[in-house]
Structure 1
Amino acid sequence: MNVIPYLTFQGTTEEAMNFYAKALQGEIVQLDRYSGAPGMQIPEGWEDKVIHGRVKFGGDNFLYFSDADRDVVAGNSVSLAVEFDSEEAVNHAFNVLADGGSVFMPLGKTFWGALYGKLTDKFGINWDLNHTLKSE
């Protein structure tokens, strides 16, 4: 299991990714745009914005990134992304963290081949929980 900071911006994610990759002498290893999300309601003008991106640096360290069409202010622009090794572990964590919190995206299968959910726990901490499913 890995914990990864997830940074959210309001339309400037690609610029931020380039900036942090340069600063940390890393590289952008993933950059997915909203236009690649099948069946998703995309806000007008957001087709080329970043739905998910990853910068790898210093060996096996990562920062995750995304653009959001909601108000992004200090404090709510960072979440903890956790990559789980099993469906059971991600289900357990999601259910415990969701108790008394607010679910933004229920845990479910995604177009990127994962079991994923996004929530804010009862203490106000934002979480992105992910388990990459094995290819069949």
Structure 2
Amino acid sequence: MLEIYLNFKNEATEAITFYETVFNTKCEAMMTFGEAPANPEYPTPESWNNLVMNASMNIEGTYVMFSDMPDGMGVNLEKGNNVSLVVSTDDEEKIDRLFARLSEGGKVIMPLGETFWSKKYGSLVDKYGINWMFNHFAENK
């Protein structure tokens, strides 16, 4: 499954509200950074607590996800590079293969690994400047 991920500079909530009215749809799920499980290895500043870590909605039959990318996250976010394509699958070998191929000549942002939301997740920018995310959607154990 291929999905779309939109990143914002501290205005994801505003964008979600706008797209809900434009497309007459509702945000299906939203988690703020403050609602996410704490990770002592990657503490988040208190100022991020009300920012969107992940949200999703169906826009015209396509699953679209949203997130804020606040300053200090290490991402040089600009309008134009704030869209990512997401490969979501329960096929772990497929994730490994696609990640390896797309990272050739590109830049790995986050190596494939386990997270609190996914058995395997990773992100990269391919050699053409396209942002990719990979998510193993089987239950994280």
TM-score by length of 2: 0.85
**CA spacing shift, 1:134–1:123, aligned 2, 3 Å:** same
2:34 is the alignment partner of 1:32: no
Q: Return the letter of the residue paired with 1:19.
A: F
2:47 is paired with a residue whose SS is coil
Which residue in 1 is equivalent to 2:134? 129
Which residue in 2 is equivalent to 1:92? 97
Q: Return the letter of the residue paired with 1:118.
A: S
- Which digits, 9 at most, give the CA deviation of each residue in 1:86-124, with x for residues without a partner? 111111111111122111111111111341111101111
Could you tell me which runs of 5 or more consecutive residues in structure 1 were left unpaired when the two chains were aligned. Answer: none
Identical-pair percentage: 34
2:66 is the alignment partner of 1:65: yes
Are the counterparts in 2 of residues 38 and 111 from structure 1 also a CA contact under 8 Å? no
Could you tell me which runs of 5 or more consecutive residues in structure 2 were left unpaired when the two chains were aligned. Answer: none
How much does 1:85 deviate?
3.1
- Which digits, 9 at most, give the CA deviation of each residue in 1:31-71, with x for residues without a partner? 1111214313314511111111111233x421111111244
Number of residue equivalences: 134
How much does 1:135 deviate?
5.9
Q: Quick check: which one's strand share is greater?
A: 1
**CA spacing shift, 1:132–1:24, aligned 2, 3 Å:** same
| Cα distance in 2 between the residues matched to 1:135 and 1:107 | 14
Are the counterparts in 1 of residues 117 and 140 from structure 2 also a CA contact under 8 Å? no
Which residue in 1 is equivalent to 2:5? 6
